[in-house]
Amino acid sequence: MDIKQWIKAEAARLGFPFAGVTSLDPPPHLNTFEAWIAAGRQAGMGYLADPLSLQKRADPRSVFPAAKSILSLAMPYTPSGPLAIEPATITGRVASYAWGTDYHEVIPARLTLLADHIEARLGCRVARRAYTDTGAILERDLAQRAGLGWQGKNTCLIHPQSGSYFFLAELFLDLDLEPDEPFRSDHCGTCRRCIEACPTGCIREDHTLDSAQCISYQTIENKGPIPHALRLQLENWVFGCDICQQVCPWNRFAHKNSIEESFQARPDVPAPRLLDELRLDAHGFNQKFRLSPVRRTKRRGYLRNVCIALGNAGHEAAVPHLLNLLNLEPEGLIRSAAAWAAYRLDPGTALPRLEQAADSDPDPLVREDIRITLAG
Ligand code: B12
Ligand code: SF4
Ligand code: SF4
């Protein structure tokens, strides 16, 4: 067995069933990324437009000058199937990548282990740098060039047998490995299911999306109020969104992958009972989401999303709880979302409280948001 084959077998043993090697040449669709940035489609994710990070994305060599090859790897997570909704409760939805432990907690250690095993096999030091998600690199483009799959119209990297429910990761290695053949074909064909199913219509025709309109961006990355024009489209998503992957035929007919123990769904995370979530104080939030990707929104972002989802759920019993938050909740972001949701569910009951808060709330941003709510 040559060293590349051995590395792939070892990667599979460590939880990366798909692996491929690519060069350090500039990524093939760099111009797509640059045009995307020039059009401002990164929304509030300013780090993507930072000049140093642009330069690194354009030239993977500059990321780790000692590297001679990039090993691109994929680790599957639990696919997002239709969830059983309990009729007596109102539940939200969490994207399945976030049902278990945060992959940023799991994958780096596995990459270190893989690099250590390569060194042990070769009997010499191999300089390496490991990435998953946070590096200034175009992970999907590099993975496509390493032969792992194609970039679907929904923008996700899709493996022909296993669909798109996997994380990407890379090892930059000071090791000359023969690059694999890029994955050249595009198996989307005439299908447009993801484009048609996306509730906000944010998937564009050129394999990119408009982040500002994407539910995943709004519920995870946006630290401020959700734009009023998008609140209804959020439906009951409280963290991330899986719709464009759920409708993809390549996920419906995908082989079942074995899923890491740490990515298995924790109780009450995939479909949280929204009224229960309203009761999460800082301690409760930190306990429930310990080492979970949901920590990224912090309590205030998560409860903002929960309030919007409650407003969309049409369950009037939530109104007293929401008005209670408007009185007592210290976070302005949550107060304004609670006001919006209460008004949507029962305008008659909520109106006097909102009128009062529009004049007297201590936070000018909350007063402004409530005025927009009242203006309809
Ligand atoms: C910013 C970001 C987001 C943003 C923007 C997403 C986007 N589509 O641009 C938001 C917050 C919306 C987001 C959401 C999600 N994300 Co995200 N995200 C990233 C991040 C950090 C950068 C992506 C980026 O640069 N976007 C800009 C666009 C222009 O680049 P791109 O998506 O890589 O697209 C390339 C293609 O469009 C290609 N291209 C263009 N035309 C063509 C044509 C052909 C034929 C081909 C082959 C390619 C091609 O050129 C582009 C540039 O290389 C990456 C990690 C990383 N460092 O790469 C994770 C990453 C893409 N995200 C990931 C995940 C899991 C998600 C979510 C599924 C989470 C969720 N359930 O909510 C959603 C999926 C939403 C979606 N449809 O993309 C995974 C994707 C794994 C996969 N199988 O593809 C990544 C790789 C993280 C990881 N390490 O696993 N994400
Ligand atoms: S994650 Fe949701 S909102 Fe974003 S592109 Fe996919 S379907 Fe649309
Ligand atoms: S739903 Fe259809 S168009 Fe969208 S990514 Fe999947 S195969 Fe491609």
Q: What is the pLDDT of residue 11?
A: 98
Instruction: Give CA–CA dist 167/100, Å, rounded.
Output: 13
pLDDT > 70: percent of the chain: 98
Residue with tokens 């060293």: 3
Mean pLDDT, the chain, integer? 96
C-beta separation of 163 from 251 below 8 A: yes
- DSSP letters for 201-241: --B-TTS-B-GGG-HHIIIII--SPPPHHHHGGGTTEEE--
- DSSP letters for 70-111: EEEEEEE-----PPPPPTTS-B-EE-GGGSSS-HHHHHHHHH
pLDDT of residue 52 exceeding 70, the answer is yes
Residue 72: CB atoms within 10 A of its CB come to 28
Domain assignment present for 34: yes
What secondary structure letter does DSSP report for 147?
Answer: T
Domain assignment present for 281: yes
Same-domain check for residues 132 and 247: yes
Same-domain check for residues 326 and 253: no
Is the pTM for the entire model greater than 0.85? yes
Domain assignment present for 355: yes
Residue to mutate, 140, 150, 151, 154, ligand 3, most ligand atoms under 8 Å from C-beta: 154
pLDDT of residue 337 exceeding 60, the answer is yes
Residue 306: CB atoms within 10 A of its CB come to 26
pLDDT tier, 90 (very low <50, low <70, confident <90, very high otherwise): confident
pLDDT of residue 101 exceeding 80, the answer is yes
What secondary structure letter does DSSP report for 150?
Answer: E
Average pLDDT over residues 351-368: 98
CA angle at residue 278 from 277 to 283, to 5 degrees?
Answer: 75
pLDDT of residue 85 exceeding 60, the answer is no
Domain assignment present for 93: no
Domain assignment present for 96: no
Domain carrying residue 354:
273-376
Which of 25, 50, 116, 133 is labelled catalytic? 133
Same-domain check for residues 12 and 131: yes
In a 3-state reduction of DSSP, which class is residue 332?
A: helix
Residue to mutate, 150, 246, 250, ligand 3, most ligand atoms under 8 Å from C-beta: 250
- For residue 200 and ligand 2, the question of a CB distance below 6 A is answered with yes
Q: What is the pLDDT of residue 86?
A: 56
Q: Is 102 an annotated catalytic residue? A: no
Ligand at minimal distance from the CA of 194 is 3
Q: What is the pLDDT of residue 202?
A: 98
C-beta separation of 140 from 157 below 8 A: yes
pLDDT tier, 89 (very low <50, low <70, confident <90, very high otherwise): low
pLDDT tens digits along 298-311: 999 999 999 999 99
Q: Which residues contact 225 (CB under 8 A, 6 or more apart)?
A: 304, 333, 336, 337, 365, 369
C-beta separation of 354 from 374 below 8 A: yes
Same-domain check for residues 247 and 297: no
Same-domain check for residues 205 and 152: yes
* Residues at CB less than 6 angstroms from ligand 1: 27, 29, 32-33, 36, 45, 95, 97, 132-133, 135, 137-141, 144, 150-151, 154-157, 164, 166-168, 186, 206-209, 211, 214, 216-217, 220-221, 240-242, 244
Q: Please count the CA atoms within 13 angstroms of the CA of 69 that sit on its side-chain side.
A: 18
Same-domain check for residues 249 and 308: no
Same-domain check for residues 62 and 44: yes
Q: First CA to last CA across the chain, in angstroms?
A: 67
Average pLDDT over residues 252-272: 92
Q: Torsion angle, CA of 75/59/160/154, rounded to 10 degrees?
A: 90
Q: Which of the residue ranges 70-84, 113-127, 250-264 would you say has the lowest mean pLDDT? A: 70-84
Ligand at minimal distance from the CA of 197 is 2
pLDDT of residue 257 exceeding 90, the answer is no
- Ligand 2 atom nearest residue 194's Cα: 7
Q: What is the pLDDT of residue 203?
A: 98
Instruction: Give CA–CA dist 327/330, Å, rounded.
Output: 9
**What CA–CA distances, in Å, run from 95 to 260, 270, 294?**
17, 7, 10
pLDDT tens digits along 130-150: 999 999 999 999 999 999 999
Same-domain check for residues 54 and 150: yes
Total domains present in the chain: 2
Q: What is the pLDDT of residue 82?
A: 61
Average pLDDT over residues 261-280: 95
Q: Please count the CA atoms within 13 angstroms of the CA of 83 that sit on its side-chain side.
A: 24
Q: Torsion angle, CA of 39/42/46/48, rounded to 10 degrees?
A: -100
pLDDT tier, 87 (very low <50, low <70, confident <90, very high otherwise): low
Same-domain check for residues 11 and 121: yes
Same-domain check for residues 38 and 135: yes
Domain assignment present for 229: no
Q: Is the dihedral of CA 89, 242, 212, 58 positive or negative?
A: positive
Instruction: Give CA–CA dist 307/118, Å, rounded.
Output: 49
Q: What is the pLDDT of residue 254?
A: 86
Same-domain check for residues 247 and 285: no
Q: What is the pLDDT of residue 83?
A: 54
pLDDT tier, 376 (very low <50, low <70, confident <90, very high otherwise): confident
Domain assignment present for 236: no
pLDDT tens digits along 163-221: 999 999 999 999 999 999 999 999 999 999 999 999 999 999 999 999 999 999 999 99
- What residue type is assigned to position 243 of the chain? I
Q: Ligand 2: distance of its center to the CA of 230 in Å?
A: 12
Instruction: Give CA–CA dist 244/233, Å, rounded.
Output: 14
Domain assignment present for 54: yes
Secondary-structure percent of the chain, ordered helix, strand, coil, rounded to 5: 50, 10, 40
Residue 246: CB atoms within 10 A of its CB come to 18
- Angle formed by the axes of helices 347-360 and 364-375, to 10°? 140
Instruction: Give CA–CA dist 277/49, Å, rounded.
Output: 35
Same-domain check for residues 192 and 309: no
